[in-house]
Amino acid sequence: MNGAAALALNDPQRAILAEALADAVHYRDPPLRCPDCETLGRLCRQCIAGLCQARAYLALSRQLGIGPPQEDQP
């Protein structure tokens, strides 16, 4: 899939894809407290792998021209 394919999406589809990618990034964030990270004094392998995957999701979002979902304004 490339940027041109993303342009074929309608606005509701783009919004859903942006939400899905944002959710994927959120769930790949390391936990606030990781016993392995605390023991090592740095990020453990699992947390590093999660961050790398989150960065890949963000890069895909940028490649597809899909920004992060817009927050609702009051």
In a domain, 13, yes or no: no
0.85 exceeded by pTM: no
| 22, part of any domain | no
Give the model confidence (pLDDT) of 53-72 as tens digits: 999 998 888 888 887 655 55
Give CA–CA dist 26/58, Å, rounded. Answer: 11
**Dihedral angle of Cα 13, 14, 20, 21, to the nearest 10 degrees:** 160
CB 3 within 8 A of CB 59: no
User: Does some domain include residue 61?
Assistant: yes
Q: What range defines the domain where residue 58 resides?
A: 34-66
Domain count, the chain: 1
Query: What pLDDT does 70 receive?
Result: 57
Mean pLDDT of the chain: 82
53 falls within a domain: yes
pLDDT in tens, 28-61: 888 889 999 999 999 999 999 999 999 999 888 8
At 4 the pLDDT is: 54
